[in-house]
């Protein structure tokens, strides 16, 4: 193998988008594209059929985009934005998941968050938990290379 | 014919994903061999695209045209963007990103088949 085995390059990326965060950003980016384009298609082609489900898909898309932006910003503000997005996502997927099971009439067509994200391998339910866990863990770790940005120090 | 390309692509993407996840598991970085394999899978993506355009040229149409077009674009860009994001950090997670991109390609080709309708050209 011609590439040097260099597991971590400290300081080369923001903390929330390095290490496991890098994988998280990739997954969130996929869902941002998936949810936004799905909602766009649904709203453009058949909005009248299930407006609640389609608007919720659009909202989910926006939340995923905000999460990607937050996770890729190295600043404390980025972290806060990511925290809000992941929390909103968790609340959204649980609320919509429960509602879609209790009252099927509310979601005649599948949205990203209906049935707890079953159409997407339940990843919409898993992602925010991983996201919140990662934000918590990466906040506790001391900042690599950049001095003075570690919280509480 | 196009169906054969699609099935080949799903298998190739899944194999690539499995291989890359093994690399990630063993904490190995993405090397030239893996990049060549990724490029090879992308060639099959382009082959599928060409095949689909041939079908369109013959007057066949996907059942859900807009969704189909968006999945097609996403399938085309998934591996290049995934490779770029994966190579940005030489770490276990960086490597795993390419595996996720390859998995996404496999899933999206499956969705392409569904949105075409009765299955892509026999």
| Residue matched to tokens 């496991």 | A20
Q: Is the pLDDT of residue A17 over 50?
A: yes
* Helix-then-strand count for chain A, H and E: 4, 0
ipTM over the 0.95 cut-off: no
pLDDT band at A8 (very low <50, low <70, confident <90, very high): very low
| pLDDT at residue A120, as a whole number | 87
| Nearest-by-CA chain B residue for A42 | B67
- Looking at residue B119, what is its pLDDT? 57
Confidence of residue A105 (pLDDT cuts 50, 70, 90): confident
Residue B4 burial (10 A CB sphere; 0-12, 13-18, 19+): exposed
Query: Could you tell me the residue range of the domain that residue B15 belongs to?
Result: 2-116
For residues B65 and A144, which has the higher predicted lDDT (pLDDT)?
A: B65
Decide if B41 contacts B9 (C-beta within 8 A): yes
Task: Please report whether residue B121 resides in a domain.
Answer: no
| Number of domains present in the structure of chain B | 1
- The segment with the largest mean pLDDT, out of A12-26, A102-116, B52-66, is B52-66
Mean pLDDT of A35-60: 88
> Per DSSP, which regions of A31-104 are E strands?
none
CA distances for B50 relative to A51, B5, B17, B37, B97, angstroms: 36, 10, 24, 20, 27
| Interchain pair B90, A3: CB under 8 A | yes
Residue of A nearest to B66 (CA): A41
Q: pLDDT band at residue B118, thresholds of 50, 70 and 90?
A: low
On the question of pLDDT at A102 being above 90, the answer is no
Phi, psi of B25 (to 5 degrees): -60, -40
Contact B31 A23 (CB under 8 A): no
Testing the interface with A: which of B24, B70, B77 to mutate, by most A Cβ within 10 A?
A: B70
In a domain, B122, yes or no: no
User: Chains A, B: CB contacts under 8 A, how many?
Assistant: 71
Q: Which residues of B touch A26 (CB under 8 A)?
A: 82, 85, 97, 100-101
Q: Output the pLDDT for position A12.
A: 37
Quote the pLDDT of residue A149.
Answer: 42
Q: What is the pLDDT of residue A142?
A: 57
Q: How far apart are CA B95 and CA B82, in angstroms?
A: 10
Q: Is the pLDDT of residue A119 over 90?
A: no
Mean pLDDT value across residues B18-32 = 94
Q: Which tokens go with B3? A: 């169906």
Tell me whether A10 touches chain B (CB under 8 Å).
no
Q: Which residue has the higher pLDDT, A46 or B79?
A: B79
CA-CA distance, B81 to A26, in Å (whole number)?
10
Q: What is the mean pLDDT of chain A?
A: 81
Asked if residue B68 is part of any domain, the answer here is: yes
Residue keyed to tokens 């599948």: A110
Contact check, Cβ <8 Å, A18/B66: no
B77-106: per-residue pLDDT in tens? Answer: 999 999 999 999 888 999 999 999 999 999
Identify the closest residue of chain A to B24 by CA–CA distance: A7
- Per the CB < 8 A criterion, the answer to whether B47 and B5 are in contact is yes
């Amino acid at each position: 193998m011609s590439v040097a085995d260099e597991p971590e390059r400290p300081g080369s990326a923001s903390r929330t988008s390095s290490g496991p965060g890098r994988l998280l950003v990739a997954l969130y980016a996929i869902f941002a594209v998936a949810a936004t384009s799905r909602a766009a298609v649904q709203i453009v082609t058949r909005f009248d059929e299930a407006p609640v489900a389609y608007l919720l898909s659009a909202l989910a898309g926006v939340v995923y985009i905000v999460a990607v932006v937050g996770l890729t910003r190295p600043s404390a503000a980025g972290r806060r934005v990511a925290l809000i997005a992941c929390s909103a996502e968790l609340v959204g997927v649980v609320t919509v998941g429960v509602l879609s099971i209790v009252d099927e009439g509310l979601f005649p067509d599948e949205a990203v968050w209906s049935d707890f994200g079953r159409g997407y391998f339940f990843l919409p339910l898993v992602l925010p938990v991983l996201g919140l866990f990662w934000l918590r863990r990466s906040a506790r770790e001391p900042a690599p290379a950049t001095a003075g940005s570690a919280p509480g120090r | 014919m196009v169906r054969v390309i699609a099935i080949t692509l799903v298998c190739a993407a899944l194999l690539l994903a499995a291989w890359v996840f093994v690399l990630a598991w063993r904490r190995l970085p993405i090397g030239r061999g893996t990049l060549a394999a990724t490029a090879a899978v992308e060639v099959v993506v382009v082959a599928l695209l060409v095949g689909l355009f041939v079908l369109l040229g013959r007057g066949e149409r996907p059942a859900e045209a807009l969704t189909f077009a968006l999945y097609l674009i996403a399938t085309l860009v998934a591996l290049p963007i995934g490779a770029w994001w994966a190579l940005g950090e030489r770490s276990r997670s960086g490597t795993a990103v390419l595996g996720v991109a390859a998995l996404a390609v496999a899933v999206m080709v499956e969705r392409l088949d569904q949105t075409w309708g009765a299955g892509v050209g026999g």
